[in-house]
Structure formats: C-alpha cells, structure tokens
Amino acid sequence: MIARRSWAGVFIGLLPVASAFAQAADVAGLQRRLEEQEQKTAVLERKLEIQDETARAALPNTPVIKAGPKGFSIASQDNANVIRFRGLVHFDGRYYLDDAGLGGSDSWRTQRVRPTLEGTLYNFVDFRFMPDFGQGRTVIQDAWVTGRFRPDFQVTAGKFKSPVGLERLQSASDIRFQDRGYPTLLAPNRDLGLQVGGNFLKDALTYQVAFLNGSNDGGSSETFTDADVSDDKEWALRLFSHPFVNSGNFYLRGLGLGVAGTVTDQKGSNTQTLLSSFRTPAGQTFFSYRGAAAAAGATPASNAAIQDGDRVRITPQLYWYAGSFGLLTEYINVETDVSRQATAADPVRSDTLDNSAWQVQLSWFATGEEETYKGFTPNSVFTLGGPGWGALEFAARYQELDVDDAAFDGGALSFADPAKSASAADSIGVVVNWYLNQNVKLGLEYEHTSFDGGAAGGADLNDENALLTRVQLSF
Amino acid sequence: MTANRWLSRLAPVVALLASMHAAQAADYTLLNVSYDPTRELYEDFNAAFAKHWQATTGKTVEIRQSHGGSGKQARSVIDGLPADVVTLALAYDIDAIAANARSLPANWQSRLPDNSSPYTSTIVFLVRKGNPKGIRDWGDLVKPGVSVITPNPKTSGGARWNHLAAWGWALRQPGATEATAREYLRKLYRNVPVLDTGARGSTTTFVARGIGDVFLSWENEAFLAVEELGEGKVEIVVPSLSILAEPPVTVVDKVALRKGTRDVADAYLKYLYSPVGQDIIGKHYYRPRDPAVAAKYASRFPTLKLLTIADFGGWAKAQATHFGEGGIFDQIYLPQ
C-alpha cells in the first residue's frame, strides 16, 4: 500500500517536468516552422526580384506595339527605330446634274487606294513607301528616304512631292474637297530627284531646294514611267514661314505664308509633249493643247504643241488657321515656252504662254474642332445609338484658271483649239464633311463651273454643275 | 545590415563609373565584357593598367566594365555589344562569339599563354555559421531539407562549372553509372529553390537575402563573402573533389580593329600575366598562374582533387551534352 502511494507520488511529481519538456518541444517545433515559413517567403521575394531584374534587362529589346486612330506601329523602346503601317482609301461618286455641258458619266470610282509603309531607322533616317491602286492602276506614289542630319539640313532622295504647291503638299487625307484646286493643276505633283530642306528659328522658317527630273503641270513622274526623257532637269525652291508660331498670340500662330517656284529648260516631243490638260473640279477636261494626229508611216498628219524651252513657275501661298476657322489661298503663274510645227510644210510657231490660277478656301468646324493644315482631332466620336456624333465641317472654295489667249492664236496652227478648249474656268464649290471619327469621313460637295470659250464659234461651254460624294478611310 | 554593407561596396564602383564618364575623354576607351564576380578584380586591375599604360606610352586609357552571367554576356557581344576584350567564365562562351559573331578567330585560345587563362579558380561550398546542416561533400547536397543555391547554368558560367563538378563527383561514386549521376543531379536541383542568372546574383540570394543552407560558389566569391560578412557568419567548406575552372580572356578583333584599340587591348590582356597583374589576381582570391606569385598566395588556397574540362570531353561536348537544348539540365530540372 505504501509502495503504491510512493509510485503515485513520483508520477504526480514528474507531471510538471513532462509538461515542461512538451512545452519546450512545442516551442522548438514552432520555431522550426517559423524559420521554414521565413525561408519560403524569402524565396518567393527573391524570385520576384529576379523576375523584375530579368524583365528590366529584357526591356531594351522589347518592341513597343501601338494600334490606334493614327495607325499601327512597332517601335524600339527608345523610339529610334519605328515602322508604321498606314492606309488611305477614297471612294468617290460623281453625279453631273446637267449633261448639256462637258458631259461625263455619273460614276463611282476608287480615287485612291494607298497602303503605306513608313518609318524611322537609327533615329535619323526616315523612309516611306506608298503604292496607289486607285483608278484601276498601280502607281508608286512615294518611295523616298530622308536623312535628318540636322534640323536645318535634311536630305531626301527618291520619289516625293515636289516642294511647290501649297494644297498639293497637303496630305490627301486632309484636303477638304474631293479634288484639289486649280493652282494644283499648274504645280508639279511627285517627281524623282534629290531635295535638301530644313527649318530655322524654331520652325518659324522652312526651306526646300530640290533637283528633279521635272514634271508637267499637275503631273507626276509616272507620266514618263518614272524616268526622265531628256538630260535637262528642273530646280524647285520653296520658302515658307510661320512668323508667329512661337508667339503667345493664339490667333496668329496658325498663320503660314511663303513662296515657291520651279525653273527648267526642256523640250518635248509628239509623244511626250511636256504639256498638260486641265480638268474641272468634277474631273472633266476643259482645256487641252493640240496633240499629234496620226498618219501613215512615221510622219504624223499634224504635230503636237510641245514645251520648247523655259518653264518658270512661281506661287505665293498662304494659310491661316485660327480656332475653328481655316483659310487657304494660293496663286500660281506658269510661263512656258511652247512651239508647234503643225505640218512639215508649216513654219514653226513659238511663243511664251502665261497661264495662271488661284483659289481661296474657307473652312469651319461647326462642332468646334480646331482647323489645321494637317490633321485634326474630333471632339466626339460617332457612336451608333450613343451620344457622340463626330465632327461636322463646312467649307467653300472659289477658284479660277486662266489660259493665255495666245494659246488660241494662229487658227489651225494654234497651240490649242478654241472650239474645243476653254480659255478660262471659274468654279465655286461648297462641301460638308462629316467626320465620324479621326479615320472615317463622309463628304458631300457641290461644284459649279463656268467657262470662257471652248465651244464652236467662240461660244462658251455650258456651265457644269456636279454633285460629288466621298467616303474616306484613313489611318 | 548585410544588404547595406553590400550596397556600400557597390557604391564606390558606381561613383567611379560616373566620374569616369564625367572625366575628360581618354586617348583610348576599352570595354571589358566580363562575367559576374570579377567586378572588384577588374576595378583594381584597370586602375593599375591605366597607370602602367600612361607611364609606358604617355597615353591615357579608360576601361569600362560590363558584368553579368557569362553566357548572357556572350549573347550580348554576339548581338552587338562593342566589347574590345572579353574576359568570361569559360572558353565555350568565347567560342560562341567566334562562331556566331565571327569577330575573332577560331584559334583565339592559342594567342595567350595557358590557354588564354591568366588565372584559375574552382568551386567550393559556402555554408552558414557552424554548418548547421553538416554539409561536407557533394553527397550532402541532396539530403532532404538541404537548400542549395546555385545560378542557372543556361546563363551563368559558374553554374556550369558547379553542374559539371557535381556530375563528375557522382560518376566517381562506387557503382555509379550515368543513370545514377543523372538521378543525383535531379535530386540536387530539386533542392535549389531559386536560380539566379549569374554568380553575383546567387551571392546576393545566399548572403544578403539569407536564403539556402549552402551556396555552390566560385572560390573567390566565397572568400569575398567571408571577408565582407566577417568570419563566423559564413564558412567555406572544401569538398573532396571539385573542378579546375580556367576563365579565359581575348581581344575581340573586329571591334578593336574598328575602334583602333587593338594594341592597347592586347597590352591590357598581357598585363594580366605580368607580376603586377598576377599579384592583383592573387589578392582577389583567384589562383595566379605565375609560380612565384602563386607561391606567395598558396596558403590561401586549399589543395583538393580537381577535375578538368578535358574529363568531360572538352567544352563543345560538355555544352551539348549538359546545357544545350534538350541536354541533361533540360531533362532533369523542374522549376520549383
């Protein structure tokens, strides 16, 4: 009995010791688990650090891809190398309201279909490649490379817009009317050659000097299959100023004015006369020089009028964009030495023809957007069933083109036939453009054109009235 | 505290680089693209060489450094990083530059003594104070609960030396076959919680972040960690077997010729073999080639049995077998 009591006493006495051991074991276990958790946390944190380091290291080689209203682009992180994909489609309609004039068939047409690839390399070489599949043909409109060595010294080589006409130099996606005005018919379009240009005084003054193959009035080098037909070249020069671009005067900042011109000495032939025809804003030809008439063998029945000597263009130009209002105006005068030997028996007739054109355009965003020479941003975007309506713009234009009366002198020996070609045209047009967003424009335009001459017996051609529509997709 | 001490060590390097940029342009500028743990070595060596070059030629030279995992650095040079000289962890990475960038001849390794390796090193273990997990040799690395730190052999030269040393040890165990060696490595990598891209990153993981029980480390990096942290916080364990690492150096001819730095780049690398260069090498815990200098620092370095790359059939074979696409590492490594 005593022994039993003794063992029980020992057992009871050992209970606190056992409890202490158990508690110590628990603490050690907890300590171990805590350390394990700390290690796991540290490993996770370190893995995140390494991921960040790897991502940062890879960043310089990770391209930046953008897709938006201004097109699609892939660029290096430092933006030194960029490639952009752009496009322009003009789907037009022409409806002649009075078939008694120059006539013409009402028609739909794809005026421009231009996928464009452009970009920058090494932060100083720009390039552009722009084919055009519009009007059922394939033409390379732009194929040029520019080295931007300094802001005031940039060299361009390839096929590009000749630096002359103000509206011609405006992007096709930015022109307000379906076709550019009469001055553009006398200014060169795209040509092949070299150009040096740049800007001074914080963009207040820009210049371009180009040495080019030379192109007809309103024409491009593809007229000559993108190759020259003679050794003679054309010089082009343009000076343009934004005198208030750096001033605090908001209304004057958008004023730009300048002068441009070309000079060349070239001689055409029966097949490449170097002389152009002129069209109304609705695309109907109202003036042409006399062409060669075919006869048996190599000898034509009659020869064409050709450029034969100097051609000098000069064009003062101005635009002014202030708030929702825009003004664009330009004048161009072209002096061209022309000759024609109607038949082998006739004397060679030579003269210097003095053709000129001018236009004034006014534009206004009824929805309050800012008018600019290049691009715009709509205040709202059209949303089907939503509150946005896009931007609404109204524009009006008056323009004249005058052909030198001397072109019609000489009867059958004249450079142009007065019974078929008008000596002058004046047009007034109005257009309403609805920009659903920055990329889609719907245009509805009315054009009225009057003529001097151009009909039999010295009568005037009937007035032309046309309704023009445009669907534009650009990005 | 630990991280702060490491950062404070990096600060003078950053300051030096910044001041080098601000300084007046030197007659020559060299870019030395090197592997991860050589920062401190070349910091001292570059200063010594610049002084030597000015004294002997009267010209000034500025040497810029770039460091990272050896394989990653080789890739950068192939992709256009304009290195005048490369000083990488292993010959295969320079072979890759010769083969892919064609910027130096295939026989580059014969242009300088000792296979163009001015020093050697090896792989040792760095463990926590008191070696709580009792890690003595390669076999201990695969025990359950042992956390091993080593960089990624795809990007780090040091990691490739680690991998081959472990493979060599496993193959030399009684009854070993390639299958048992493969299983050994599978278990080892299973104990690796995180793969850094380079040796210096792994040092940060083990030393500054306190992760892992053992760090498979370049010998010089292990000494540096002990020196930085103070003896008693980490310990070096020398395994029964390791590998003779021979980090090579060479001029990148195409770049040096284009920049007109060929002569100074040649002289730069040859100076590594000079008594002054060898002494700087020894001071930074690399094993000098020069017998006299090696004798001076012999007491620092333990004697151990070392495999060589020849035991693995050379770098081309070792690379293809172990580290190439679908190689042994790809087959056995499963990310944690």
Shortest Cα–Cα distance, A76 to chain B (Å): 15
CA A382 to chain centre: 24
Look at residue A14 in the predicted model and tell me its pLDDT. Answer: 66
Interface test with chain A among B207, B209, B214, B215, by most A beta carbons within 10 Å:
B209
Is the minimum CB–CB distance between B210 and chain A shorter than 8 Å?
A: yes
* Selection from A182, A344, A348 nearest residue A267 by Cα: A348
For chain B positions 28-67, those within 8 Å of chain A (CB to CB) are none
Binned at pLDDT 50, 70 and 90, residue B10 comes out as: very low
Instruction: Tell me which chain B residues have a C-beta less than 8 angstroms from the C-beta of A43.
Output: 193-194, 211, 336
Residues A115-139, mean pLDDT to the nearest whole number: 95
A42: contact with B, CB 8 A cutoff? yes
Rounded mean pLDDT of B92-106?
Answer: 92
Q: Which residue in this structure is represented by tokens 């490594």?
A: B333
Q: Tell me the sheet residues that pair with B34.
A: B67, B87
Residue A45 touches partner B, C-beta closer than 8 Å: yes
Task: Confirm if A230 and A215 have CB atoms less than 8 A apart.
Answer: no
Q: Is B194 on the interface with A (CB under 8 A)?
A: yes
Q: Is A202 on the interface with B (CB under 8 A)?
A: no
pLDDT of the residue at B230: 65
Interface test with B, best of A40, A50, A54 (most B CBs within 10 A): A50
Alpha-carbon distance B105 to nearest alpha carbon in chain A (angstroms): 28
Put simply, the chain B residues between 248 and 277 with a CB less than 8 A from any chain A CB are none
Residue of A46, A47, A48, A53 best to disrupt the B interface, most CBs of B under 10 A: A46
Asked whether the predicted pLDDT for residue B271 surpasses 80, the reply is yes
Tokens of A465: 């009235």
Is the Cβ pair A46, B210 closer than 8 Å? Answer: no
Of all residues in chain A, the percent with pLDDT exceeding 90 is 71
Nearest CA of chain B to the CA of A41: how many Å?
Answer: 10
A338-363 per-position pLDDT tens digit: 999 988 888 899 999 999 999 999 99
Q: How far is B195 from chain A (nearest CA, A)?
A: 8
The pLDDT value recorded for residue A202 is 84
Judge: B209–A45 Cβ closer than 8 Å, yes or no: yes
Q: Is A299 exposed, middle or buried (0-12, 13-18, 19+ CB in 10 A)?
A: exposed
Residue whose structure tokens are 């120059």: A102
Which chain A residues are Cβ-neighbours of B78 within 8 angstroms?
Answer: none
Q: How close does chain B come to A40, measured CA to CA in Å?
A: 9
**Residue A304 near residue A330 (C-beta atoms within 8 A):** no
Site from A32, A38, A44, A47 to mutate, B interface, most B CB atoms within 10 angstroms:
A47
Return the H-helix or E-strand segment holding A240: strand A234-241
DSSP states of A117-173: EEEEETTTEEEEEEEE-GGG--EEEEEEEEEEEETTEEEEEEEEE-S--TTTTS-TT
pLDDT tens string B101-157: 888 999 999 999 999 999 999 999 999 999 999 999 999 999 999 999 999 999 999
Helix, strand counts (H, E) of chain A? 2, 20
* A33 contact B CB<8A: no
Choose between B27 and B271: higher pLDDT: B271
pTM: 0.68
Burial class of A454 by CB neighbour count within 10 A (0 to 12, 13 to 18, 19+): buried
- B194 to A43: CB separation less than 8 angstroms, yes or no: yes
Interchain proximity A46–B209, CB inside 8 Å: yes
Which positions in chain A touch B196 (Cβ < 8 Å)? 50
B197 contacts in chain A (CB < 8 Å): 50, 53-54
**Could you count the other beta carbons within 10 Å of the beta carbon of residue A215?**
28
Chain A residues with beta carbon closer than 8 angstroms to that of B336: 43
ipTM of the complex: 0.70
Q: Is the pLDDT of residue B206 over 50?
A: yes
